[in-house]
Amino acid sequence: RDGKIKRDSKIRLIRDGIVIYPTGEGASAELASLKRFKDDAKEVLSGMECGLTIKNFSDYKVGDVVEAYEIEEVKRTL
């Protein structure tokens, strides 16, 4: 897939096609850390290896999918 993950991206953790973290309608999680090799990173491009931790979450399992997204406000025009 194309894209990148940024240090300030919102995060969802998906397991078996179901969002397991964060729970609740409209909830979003944040990264606690994002690293490329042993260095802190502001962003990592698709296809590159990185390490990350999600704030207040530690129950990672093989096969989990981390989805990063940004909320963008778009001004409506009439």
3-state secondary structure 52-75: EEECCCCCCCCCCEEEEECCCCCC
We report the CATH number of the domain holding residue 24 as: 2.40.30.10
CB under 8 Å to 58, separation ≥6 — which residues?
A: none
Instruction: Report residue 58: phi and psi, to 5°.
Output: -145, 0
Q: What is the pLDDT of residue 71?
A: 85
What is the separation of C-alpha 73 from the centre of its chain, rounded to a whole number of angstroms? 19
Instruction: Please give the average per-residue pLDDT across 4-9, as a whole number.
Output: 93
Range of 63's domain? 4-69
pTM of the complete model: 0.78
15 vs 61: CA distance, rounded Å? 8
**Encoding tokens for residue 31?**
């990264």
What is the average pLDDT score of the chain?
Answer: 91
Query: Has residue 47 been placed in a domain?
Result: yes
Tens-place pLDDT, residues 32-68: 999 999 999 999 999 899 999 999 999 999 999 999 9
In this structure, what DSSP letter does residue 43 have? Answer: E
Q: What is the pLDDT of residue 24?
A: 79
Query: Has residue 74 been placed in a domain?
Result: no
